[in-house]
Chain A
């Protein structure tokens, strides 16, 4: 277990580091193991992203959706403030508190006017350290979550995504939907929520990224008063070893005009030395929007879809090369064949030198776009924190992309982009032509 490093030497850790090295001037990133800070006083506002290792992979057996349920209670009060009082206190100061739960993390985003930073942080701290889980609020949020589950059954893209994870991860805790299932949600009691919050909303493993109109000293004080009262605990053990992927076609029948498909392969972990090469390779194949090979082949040449893309997703314990496409029922077979052909050619030959050069100039040239707003900066820094990267990565990243060679990308294309291993999940009905 690692000690909470912030309070012992907060000011030293928060010494500003200009990030002009990577091209975003007038933004300073402060260095700390757990608190990254980009100071900018242009606008009177602050964005803060706090990530707790409290994702759905931590749901206990039979309590699918517990992490997400607990997170959804974050704006339902704390300490002496019930839901009504808490939500009124946020709204009176236009403080925006939102939360998102994925498989590994609970990600809390706080947007506030800088004049209200102290109130915003105090409310967040109260909700985290002294959650109430009042019966009527629990009942209300449960009803909302159950209704959301019902409603996403209307949407083939959601049905495909949920079933994809079930198929792809099998018995692993990454398999079940992050927002749980009806039996799991129905069985969750106030005590379960309390216990989960007490054991998972903790300082250990917490990552904080801040951008905007505040000074280092004030921020350090607020971080201490907000997150200091949380407990430090042992992190949960890493999830069980997993079997990734279930090659072949899995159809989940739905009567919809446009079936949706998820197609995926095992990819490198974020810590894998192949990661950036695979990231560049993915840009050429399916990550590059209108310029990608898949968009050219499936949309531009054949008119089979409005949107096809692939992404290199990294969970803490799994990497996935994951794509989505949607088309009419009688074109899905042709579409999936075009995807596989395009991928097979890419695996065999890799990108052309021009494609690699274009990928690099896009990826490095577009990098500063992610750093053009306080909300964007805090979000991007948080992603890097959660990926286990050092803060110096912000400045080094473009040079690392430039260092990827044609041989690197050809090698990872052969190694990772094998269409014979594709797991394909379709929500909808596949019809003959």
Chain B
């Protein structure tokens, strides 16, 4: 199951399903360059079909919401579809659709991404539309109230209608003592209500500029084509002075936080634990890859240790999951979840989870299990190459948090290099309860 903190768009669901990590060393290359205004560009040629995926990643997200205005970055993502003088109203999406294109966007704590998928011959149209709204967004006539209502409906759909999502939101709030990763990307409703046109305009001025953006083009293109087209469309957008991003420290936690929620909306009990762990951006060499491998070993699939012990052998759970969310500028998260079999208490279930985790911290995985986990992770990079969107996302995500295209390319080799002892040490160092929130959700009568 997913309770990724970064789940506020249709697109990100597809991303997290395949987001074990970026691309393999084999196969077509990615190329990187920069425009003079500071815009970074990555080109990933894939000539199988005459289509392209364009993504523009801005290094701004929920973390940059001003105090008291949580949700502004995400709200602003919506406003980017509200038109310019040249492309007024909803003509942005209409123009793309008329040209056979699809478009959408998503926001996380660390970045905001906009994307178009379209026939190769129409790429210049998609570029010129993006360049136009990067520089010339016109919010003067737009109805902020209506879009706020849309966002509040989005929040009801993604969070408030779902007891597990509500709990996950509170887990994040409890896990991060000081860092804005503890605030929901979609915002607290009371604060979303306070967002107005002025706040949106300020946000645009401070964060939306070519020198804060990464352009990724994957598909039936050459590097020269993209360089020419990007220069023509984006090259004329002037760089802006950016407001420096705040740097947040997160103090060490003194002790585990425990949440026990009972909800009449919940129909099944569940146990969730989220650890604050090093991200790819913070980790020592090999550490994040070891955490990735550990997540695969514990809960990557039906051969995972948690599934084998808890579901198959002990019959205490119906389902389990483990995942590492390491693509963050600051701390990453390691998530474990388990559903008890009917008649099994959440306490007994948690003890069984703890036994497996303690075992992984004490003993290194056996060679066969480790090889299997690595094989699957490396293959996932090949499978990801099958999708322009997934591969472009891997690069965008990595570059947005300060990694390089080389990191993306080297990822499979780095996974291959993970040793059994590194995995054990990753578990022992990172899966410590004082850096975790443990939560239970229990059905309650109304």
B-binding residues in A (CB < 8 A): 23-27, 40, 42-45, 47, 75, 83-84, 87-88, 91-94, 96, 111, 113, 136, 140, 143-144, 147, 150-151, 153-157, 255-258, 288-291, 296, 299-307, 326-328, 358, 361-369, 371-376
Contact = CB atoms under 8 A, between A and B. Distances in A.
B303 A306 contact: no
Nearest to B89: A300
Contacts of B27: 42-43
A45 B383 contact: yes
B97 A94 contact: no
Contacts of B219: 372
Contacts of B103: 290
Given A91-B303, A154-B267, A304 B149 contact: yes
A375 to B, nearest CB: 6
Contact of B49 (A45, A147, A371): A371
B69 to A, nearest CB: 19
B48 A257 contact: no
Contact of A93 (B117, B152, B375): B375
B99 A361 contact: yes
A303 B147 contact: yes
Contact of A358 (B97, B117, B264): B97
Contacts of A40: 48
B303 A258 contact: no
A140 B311 contact: yes
A47 B102 contact: no
Given A144-B319, A258-B160, A24 B50 contact: yes
B339 interface: yes
Contact of A368 (B51, B81, B146): B51
A25 B50 contact: yes
Interface string B361-394: 0000000000110011011101101111000000
A393 to B, nearest CB: 18
A84 B312 contact: yes
A150 B48 contact: no
Nearest to A305: B153
Contacts of B243: none
Contact of B93 (A84, A153, A154, A289): A289
Given A296-B90, A306-B154, A365 B99 contact: yes
Given A91-B372, A374-B386, A291 B161 contact: no
Interface in B223-282: 264-268
Contacts of B93: 289-291
A157 B162 CA distance: 11
30 contacts: A23-B119, A24-B48, A25-B49, A42-B27, A45-B383, A47-B386, A91-B302, A94-B380, A113-B379, A140-B311, A154-B268, A156-B161, A256-B161, A258-B160, A289-B93, A290-B81, A300-B146, A303-B150, A304-B153, A306-B151, A327-B153, A358-B97, A361-B99, A363-B100, A366-B118, A369-B100, A369-B118, A372-B48, A372-B49, A375-B387
A301 B146 CA distance: 7
A372 B385 contact: no
Contacts of A257: 156, 160-161
Contacts of B303: 84, 87-88, 91
B94 interface: yes
A120 to B, nearest CB: 12
Contacts of A301: 146
Contacts of A289: 93, 97, 102
Contacts of B149: 303-304
B47 interface: yes
B357 to A, nearest CB: 21
Contacts of B101: 365-366
B325 interface: no
B102 A45 contact: no
Contacts of B118: 365-366, 369
Contacts of B301: 87, 91
A290 B388 CA distance: 22
Nearest to B82: A300
B163 interface: yes
B372 A368 contact: no
A402 B73 CA distance: 41
B132 interface: no
A149 to B, nearest CB: 9
Given A87-B303, A150-B268, A92 B375 contact: yes
Contacts of A290: 81, 90, 93-94, 97, 103
Contacts of B267: 150-151, 153-154
A154 B265 contact: yes
A155 B51 contact: no
B50 A23 contact: yes
B409 interface: no
A350 B112 CA distance: 38
A346 B146 CA distance: 24
Contacts of A363: 100
A43 B382 CA distance: 8
A94 B90 contact: no
A86 B192 CA distance: 50
B49 A258 contact: no
A136 B313 CA distance: 10
A140 B386 contact: no
Nearest to A299: B150
B156 A328 contact: yes
Task: Pick the most buried of A83, A93, A373: most chain B CB atoms within 10 A of its CB.
Answer: A373
Given A143-B342, A150-B268, A307 B157 contact: yes
Interface string B388-409: 1000000000000000000000
Nearest to A302: B146
A302 B147 CA distance: 9
A365 B119 contact: yes
A361 B98 CA distance: 5
A309 to B, nearest CB: 11
Interface string B9-52: 00000000000000000111000000000000000001111110
Contact of B318 (A96, A144, A157, A288): A144
Contacts of A92: 371-372, 375
Of all A-B residue pairs in the complex, the 7 with the closest CB atoms, nearest first, are A365-B100, A303-B149, A94-B379, A258-B156, A303-B146, A290-B93, A306-B154
